[in-house]
A and B are shown apart, each in its own frame.
Chain A
Amino acid sequence: MKIRKNSYEKAFDIVNYTILSILGIICLYPIINVFAISFSSYPAYVRHPLMIFPREIELTSYERIFTNPLLISSYKNTVFVTIVGTLNSLLLTVMTAYPLAKSKVRGSRGIMLYIIFTMFFNGGIIPTYMVVKTLNLLDTLWALILPTAMSTYNFIIVRNFLETIPDSIEESAKIDGAGHIRILFELVIPLSKPVLATIALFYAVANWNRFFESYMYITQRSKWTLTLLLREIVSDNADIMNVTDPTAADTVFPKTMQCATIVATTLPILFSYPFLQRYFIKGIMLGAVKG
């Protein structure tokens, strides 16, 4: 009896580990493949398109993309939008969440409804575009920062966290004569570091990967962000349209260069992945606490 059970358990483990390993490979292989191709020579790529390790290692693809002025300006724009956008979003979110946590202001319920209603109903793509156009934000990087400055979801996470800060802490500061602004910046914000780090990363990843707004609001190439550049290079539909002579597309932007561009634009995210990992899981927990 006992032996049978053990062998059943063993079989379960073997099947389980196999399934999970296969899923791991499915998730990782395409990324490794792109990575390997980006460091390989073009002829090596043509011979071994499915490679896992780079072949005939060379950096020509990277040399070519990093001497491309459009890539450099797009990189700068993306970094600007990510840094300024994230700081702006953080500040705005905390400033709005603090007075509404624990209903410090009159009419908190009404204001919450005013904010949360936007999660249920929105004006849609075209009316939003019209607002951005009316504000003269088209073709400026502010069009990528202001319309998406605050995420209601992140706002709720922060507000829920602020509700958990014990009253006594704020009370004692008040007795010491500190005003609301001082309490917020010197007491509440330092106490909220974990939740702020989490939403900062949420905002930063969203800003870095932002495409829809860039595509709608930006037309001047000098204002392009990386996602726009990447789209032009990567989703070269020529390959889809042309079955008989697929290399035709490759002559414009060889695959090795496409892959190098993908790597160069994704690297910052991959580098910060260990941090992302730690805080994102925390963020999920914080989000779950509210439920």
Chain B
Amino acid sequence: MSSVAVKNVKSSGLKKQKGVLEHIMLNKSLYILLVPGLIYYLIFYYFPMYGVTMAFKDFDMFSGLFSSEWVGLLHFKNLFTSETFFKVFRNSILISIYKLFFNFPVPIVLAILLNEVKNIYFKKSIQTIVYLPYFLSWVVIAGIVINLLSPSTGVVNTLLKSMGHEPINFLANKSYFRSIIVLSDLWRTMGWNTVIYLAALTGVDPELYESARIDGAGRFHQITRITLPCIRSTIIVLLLLKVGNIMNNGFEQIFMLYNPMVYEVGDVFETYVYRLGLVEARYDFSTAVGLFKSVIAFIMLVGANTLARKFGERGIF
């Protein structure tokens, strides 16, 4: 009996070694299906990863990446002595933290409130309305924001004027810019995230609430004892995803709304790299800035993912 087992192990080991080629020959079509996808990732993700070597070279458009001269850490030395770099670093992190702090809890509260609504039509309509903005592109939202905040005709300034205040040019004012970014982000994403929590809540057995009510639990108790525990893991995963992405502010929102008057408080990595690289054509230096960002982002993401697993979640990916 044991010898049979040994024989089986041996033969399966052998089979595996010579089996790869055989498996490919027998299932050619399966491997052919994979090829375009693998090439796609190679060209558009792994070639650029090789391209980051530009950050250590004195890049010359005419001689190309291969034959450009190595300069070691020169660009990074310049980077860490640049004042703008630290401002950009600070802005990127601050804006993300503000978004996390102010915008993260809103959808949770909103989902709980919607979950308490008994009128199904009211619930559905509010749900539909609040996540409509998610489908608008940032160009459109920027148009709406500029409209709303316009010093001459915007709603906000019309209200200010009617109360006897001077109109404020919000988008050109350093003390308002980050708030505008945080609020417009809230406007766009709160409904979407609410729907994610509501989707997690659809799995809850209504009988749980029923029996809690019979036991005399009030609304507040039902929320803290049933609703919140049910969306706990969704909250953790979304929170860690946010923390992992703290270096990414997204190019479009900032780019659409900022202007030179608020660079000081609003310039983030994406916009800075774009201006340095594609406007000023300092390819090597801007690649170094981008690489710095990617490395920090990588550490944050891996850290967040490890934490998620520690919390007993399956991790983000």
Contact = CB atoms under 8 A, between A and B. Distances in A.
Interface of A: 5, 8-9, 12-13, 16-17, 19-21, 23-24, 26-28, 30-31, 33-34, 46, 49-50, 92-93, 95-96, 98-100, 104-107, 111, 114-116, 118-131, 135, 146-147, 149-150, 156, 179-181, 184, 205, 208-209, 211-212, 216, 227, 230-231, 234-235, 237, 239-241, 243, 246-247, 255, 258-259, 262, 265-266, 269-270, 273, 276-277, 280-281, 284-285, 288, 290-291
Interface residues of B, number: 100
B48 A122 contact: yes
Interface of B: 19-20, 23-24, 27, 29-31, 33-34, 36-38, 40-41, 43-52, 54, 65, 110, 113-114, 116-117, 122, 125-126, 128-130, 132-133, 135-140, 142-144, 146-148, 150-155, 158, 167, 169, 171-172, 187, 190-191, 195-196, 199-200, 202, 218-219, 233-234, 237, 251-252, 256-257, 259, 270, 273-274, 277-278, 283, 286-287, 290-291, 293-294, 297-298, 301-302, 313-314, 317
Contact of B31 (A12, A99, A120, A243): A99
Q: Is the interface of B mostly helix, strand, loop or mixed?
A: helix
Contact of A20 (B117, B140, B286, B291): B117
Contact of B313 (A147, A243, A291): A291
B117 A16 contact: yes
Given A8-B218, A96-B33, A291-B313, A266 B136 contact: yes
A227 B34 contact: no
Given A179-B29, A234-B146, A288-B199, 12 more contacts: A16-B113, A16-B116, A23-B110, A23-B126, A27-B133, A49-B158, A105-B34, A122-B49, A131-B44, A216-B274, A234-B142, A246-B151
Given A96-B36, A105-B30, A129-B278, A234 B51 contact: no
A284 B199 contact: yes
A27 B153 contact: no
The residue in A30, A33, A104, A125 that gathers the most chain B C-beta atoms within 10 A of its C-beta is: A125
A17 B117 contact: yes
- 5 A-B pairs closest in CB distance: A123-B48, A127-B51, A96-B37, A124-B290, A246-B152
11 contacts: A23-B110, A98-B30, A104-B30, A123-B50, A123-B52, A125-B290, A126-B278, A127-B287, A128-B44, A131-B48, A231-B256
B233 A131 contact: no
Contact of A120 (B20, B23, B54, B298): B298
B36 A95 contact: yes
A243 B33 contact: no
Contacts of B146: 234-235, 239-240
Given A126-B290, A234-B143, A255-B147, A92 B36 contact: yes
Given A123-B48, A291-B314, A24 B29 contact: no
Contact of B33 (A128, A184, A208, A285): A184
Contacts of A180: 27, 29-30, 33
A179 B32 CA distance: 13
B143 A95 contact: no
Nearest to A23: B130
A243 B167 contact: yes
Contacts of B27: 104-105, 180
